């Protein structure tokens, strides 16, 4: 699967958030602020996982339709991936 620029940029923003959290910890910032940023980062990661899995699913279903394969198993696998990520 090819990953588009937008998905890569999402991960770069997450990387920046994590570096910011480390800096906050090094500066002994309030734990509530650190936790808020950690929660925001987790949400960003969860959304990125969803984007990647859904994009992959669309690509796999399209490919299955073109080759005449059954896409049901691919859908189950994608759902399982999403469940595991939680």
CA distance 49 to 72: 20
For residue 13, the model assigns a pLDDT of: 97
Here the CATH number for the domain that contains residue 72 is 1.20.58.1000
Domain boundaries, position 30? 5-85
Total domains in the chain come to 1
pLDDT digits (tens, 9 = 90+) for 8-47: 999 999 999 999 999 999 999 999 999 999 999 999 999 9
pLDDT at 86: 67
Q: What is the pLDDT of residues 39-66, one digit of tens each?
A: 999 999 999 988 888 888 788 788 777 8
Take residue 72 and report the two structure tokens written for it: 């049901």
Which pLDDT band, with edges at 50, 70 and 90, does 74 fall under? confident
């Amino acid at each position: 699967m090819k990953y588009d620029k937008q998905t890569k940029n999402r991960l770069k923003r997450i990387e920046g958030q994590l570096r910011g959290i480390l800096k906050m910890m090094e500066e002994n910032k309030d734990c509530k602020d650190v936790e808020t940023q950690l929660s925001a980062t987790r949400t960003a990661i969860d959304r990125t996982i969803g984007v990647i899995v859904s994009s992959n699913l669309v690509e796999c279903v399209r490919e299955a339709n073109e080759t005449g394969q059954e896409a049901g198993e691919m859908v189950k696998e994608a759902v399982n991936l999403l469940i595991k990520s939680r």
